Chain A
Amino acid sequence: MDASSHAVTRPRASRSYWLCQLGGWGLYCVAEAGLATKILHLPLGRTLLELAVYSALGMALTHMLRGLVRRRAWARLPLRALAPRILGTALLLSLPVAAVTNYLSIAALWVPDQLDLVNLHIPSAMIHQARGLILVLDVQALFTVWAVLYLTITSLRDQRSAALRQSELTRALHVAELRLLKSQLNPHFLFNSLNSVRALIADDPAGAQKAITQLARTLRYTLTAGREELVTLARELEIVEDYLALESLRFGERLRIERDLAPEAMGVRVPVMLLQTVVENAIKHGIAELPAGGDLRIVAALRGGTLHIDVENTRPEKTERIFRSEGEGVGLDNAAERLRLLFGAKANLDLDLSRVEVAVARIRIPDTA
C-alpha cells in the first residue's frame, strides 16, 4: 500500500487529531499567558490576542507539517533519515513564526529584554540577529516536539489497527477453511459409502476392499486439498473416478457415466477439488433425485490455450421455480468464486439450466503451463 492510498482509506483529518491540535495549543497558550502576565506583567488582553495569533500560525504550519509527514510517509523512515528531516522542516517552518513573533511583546517570553546581551560580549550590531536566532531556535524546538508527538501517537494507533486487521483476516481465513473442509467432507456421502462397504463385506469381500481403498483415497485427497491450490487435471480426475466408483456402489444402475476426455487436456493445472465439487453437485441434484437414475457426462478438451470442462447431468422433472428454490447451483457459487480469485476474468464456471432435461456446468480455465 503506498502513501496516497493510505491517505484515501483514512479520513482526511480525524476528530481526535483536531482535538489534540486545539487542546495542545490551548494548553500551551494558557501556560504562556500565565508566564506573560505574572513575570512580564503584560496586560492580559494584549497577551491573549498575541498568543492567539501565535498559536493560529503554529497550528496552520503544523497542519502543513502533518500533510508532509503523511504524503512522504515519514512514519516508515528509519530514525537516521527521520531526524534530519524533522529538524530541517521545523527550522524552515519556524522562520515565518519567528519573523512575526519578533514584532509581538510576548517575544520577551523567549528573549527577555532583561537578558544582558551586552555583557555576553556580543557586539551591539549583532544583538538584533542574536535575538532573532534565539526566537528561531525556540520555535524550531516547539515544532520538533510537535512532530515527535504526532509521529508517536499515529504510529501507536496504526500498529494497533494493523494488529486488529491481521487478526480479523486470520480469523476469516480459518472460518473459510473450516467451511470448505466441512462442505468437502460431505457426511451424507461418507456415511452412505460406509454403509455400502458394510453391505459388501459379506457378499463381495474383494469389492469391499477396493471400496475402502477408494474411500481412503477420497478422504485423504479432501483433507490435504488445502496444501496445494493447483493440481493437474489427471490428478483431479483420479479422485473424481474414486468418488464415482463409490457413488456407483450406492446408486447401482441408476448412475450411468460417460466420459470424453482429451489426453492433451490432462496436464493442465486446475484448482484442487473444483471438478470434484462440480461432479458431486451434478449427482446430488441430478441422479440422486431421479427414481430411474440418469446420465452423467464429463467432457474435457483443450482449445486455444483454454481448458474446457463440461459436466452434464439429467435433470429431475420439476418446474423451474421449485428447482431454483432448492438451490441447484448454490454449491457451485463457492467454486466459481475460487476460480475467479485464482485466475481472474480468464477463468469461469457457470451452470446452464436453459434446457429442461439436462443441466450443464461449464468450466473454463487458462492453460498456465
Chain B
Amino acid sequence: MKAMIVDDEPLARRELGRLLAEFAWIDIVAEAANVGEAAPLIEKLLPELLFLDIQMPGGTGFDLLERLEHLPRVVFTTAYDKHAVRAFEVNALDYLLKPIEPERLAAAVARAQAAATSTPSASATSATILERLFVRDGDRCWFVPLREVKLFTAEGNYVRLSWDKTHPLLGRPLASLEARLDPRQFFRANRQQVINLEYIESVDPGVNGLLHVQLRGGPEVQISRRQARLFRRLSSI
C-alpha cells in the first residue's frame, strides 16, 4: 500500500517513518512538509494512505484535503489541537496524537488495510474520475462518496451538495467539478444543477419541451429544453 507523510517537522516525519517500518506492506512513497509541497506529490504519486498533520505553515491539513482531486484514505496526526480533535471526534475521522503510540498506529493501519480490501483501490480506477471529496462546512467535515450525492447545485463559485440529509458547501465552481464526475452517472439538468441519475424516481414532460425530474426523497429538478433533448437521447439508448 502506497503511503505518504505530510508534516512540517522533519523529526516528526522521521519518527512516523520509523514506526511505519514495522508494517512491511506499507510503502512510504513520499514525504512533504507543507500543503504546497504535498498537493502535487499526491496527485502525481496517487498514494492510498495519507498521514496528515493539521497545523502546518501556509495551510492546514484540512485545507490540503479540500484542494485534492485524488483523495487517499486519511489518518490525521496532531500533537495538541483541541479544535481539530473535536472535529475528528464529531465526524468519526481516524486520528493519532503525537507522540504516536505504536498500538494506536497499528489499529489505524489495520483499519486502512481493511478498507482497501473491501473497496476497489482509488488508483485502480480512472484517475480522471472523482470518487470521494473532502468537504468542510463550518465545524463539520465529511469524506463524501460522490455516487451517494443526489444533487449538485451551483451557488456562485461554490457548490451545494445534497447528500444523506446534509447539504455541505464545497469551495469550488460547479464547472470544474462536473468535468471530473462520471458521465454515466451524473447529468447536467440546467445551468445550476447536476443530478445523479441513480436517484431519479420519475420524469414528467412539462411545457415548452422541459422535463420535470422527481428525485428520491425530493426535490424536483427541472431539465432545461436544450438538456432535455440530450436526456431523451441518452435514456432511449
- Which residues in A have some Cβ–Cβ distance to B below 8 Å? 187-188, 190-192, 194-196, 198-200, 202-203, 249-252, 254, 288-291, 316
B13 to chain A minimum Cβ distance, whole angstroms, is: 9
Q: List 22 A-B contacts (CB under 8 A).
A: A187-B80, A188-B80, A188-B81, A191-B79, A191-B97, A194-B99, A195-B15, A195-B79, A196-B12, A199-B14, A199-B18, A200-B11, A202-B18, A249-B11, A251-B9, A254-B57, A288-B57, A289-B58, A291-B33, A291-B34, A291-B37, A316-B58
B114 to chain A minimum Cβ distance, whole angstroms, is: 27
Q: Specify which of A188, A200, A202, A291 is in contact with B36 (CB 8 Å cutoff).
A: A291
- A329-B231 Cα distance, complex, nearest whole Å: 58
Q: Are A195 and B57 in contact (CB under 8 A)?
A: no
Q: Are B12 and A195 in contact (CB under 8 A)?
A: yes
Residue of chain B at shortest CB distance from A191:
B79
Q: Are A191 and B99 in contact (CB under 8 A)?
A: yes
- A190-B100 Cα distance, complex, nearest whole Å: 14
Q: Are B55 and A196 in contact (CB under 8 A)?
A: no
List of A residues within 8 angstroms of B34 by Cβ = 291
List of B residues within 8 angstroms of A203 by Cβ = 14
**Contacts A188-B79, A249-B11, A252-B10 known; A195 to B55 CB distance under 8 Å?**
no
Among A188, A250, A291, residue most surrounded by chain B Cβ atoms (within 10 Å)? A291
- A254-B9 Cα distance, complex, nearest whole Å: 10
List of A residues within 8 angstroms of B80 by Cβ = 187-188, 190-192
Interface assignment of B226: CB less than 8 Å from any CB of chain A? no
**Contacts A187-B80, A188-B81, A291-B36 known; A199 to B55 CB distance under 8 Å?**
no
Q: Are A199 and B12 in contact (CB under 8 A)?
A: yes
- Which residues in B have some Cβ–Cβ distance to A below 8 Å? 8-12, 14-15, 18, 33-34, 36-37, 55-58, 79-81, 97-100
Interface of A (DSSP majority class) = helix
Among A188, A191, A195, A252, residue most surrounded by chain B Cβ atoms (within 10 Å)? A195
B77 to chain A minimum Cβ distance, whole angstroms, is: 9
List 6 tightest A-B contacts by C-beta distance, closest first.
Answer: A199-B15, A191-B79, A199-B11, A195-B98, A187-B80, A192-B79
- A356-B223 Cα distance, complex, nearest whole Å: 52
List of A residues within 8 angstroms of B37 by Cβ = 291
Q: Specify which of A191, A249, A254 is in contact with B98 (CB 8 Å cutoff).
A: A191
List of B residues within 8 angstroms of A202 by Cβ = 18
Q: Are A192 and B57 in contact (CB under 8 A)?
A: no
Q: Are B98 and A192 in contact (CB under 8 A)?
A: yes
List of A residues within 8 angstroms of B100 by Cβ = 195
B31 to chain A minimum Cβ distance, whole angstroms, is: 13
- A190-B37 Cα distance, complex, nearest whole Å: 26
Q: Are A196 and B9 in contact (CB under 8 A)?
A: yes
List of A residues within 8 angstroms of B58 by Cβ = 289-291, 316
- A198-B79 Cα distance, complex, nearest whole Å: 13
Residue of chain B at shortest CB distance from A290:
B57
